[in-house]
Amino acid sequence: MTKATLFSLLFIFCAFPAAAEPLGFITINDSLVADKLMPVGTEVKIKVRQISRQFNTGIAVDCFPESAFDYGRPSNARIRLKSWRAIDLLKGDVLSYTTDQRCFIGFSAIPDYKELSVGPLDNDFRRLTMNHRQDYRWVIDVKFPDYAF
């Protein structure tokens, strides 16, 4: 029984770091998409760090359903869940959205910012930067409370 207990403890300690891997992001259709399938009721928090000066711009939370052909991966189909216009936002605003469907959650800037990057983890938030041109940049911090980064 001692060998079984030691083996079980060793397995738990080896498996635990794999479960705590940081949440990664991939780019699909000009959106930065979390690489884990999120359950219904996932609350996403967005902290606005920099607002683009472009006319008629905004940020959005997108849903990418699971691919029918590649299990555990997002499809290319984007469903816009919620968007906020820049004119209605101030630097420092904290926005939240609770999902009503199971999906991979993505973030995008309107209209289609193509230079997307993910910054380091800071206080459970990941920094996302979306550039359209040098003068047009969104910087937001995002957090998924249901998952440990």
Whether the per-residue pLDDT at 14 is higher than 50: the answer is: no
CA nearest neighbour of 29 among 93, 76, 88? 76
Q: Go through the domains of the chain in sequence order and give each one's CATH number.
A: 23-143 (2.60.120)
Radius of gyration of the chain (CA): 18
Whether the per-residue pLDDT at 15 is higher than 50: the answer is: no
CA distances from 83 to 16, 23, 111 (A): 36, 23, 11
pLDDT, tens digit (0-9, with 9 covering 90-100), for 96-135: 999 999 999 999 998 878 889 888 777 678 899 999 876 7
pLDDT, tens digit (0-9, with 9 covering 90-100), for 29-63: 899 999 889 999 989 999 999 999 888 999 999 99
Does this model's pTM top 0.95?
A: no
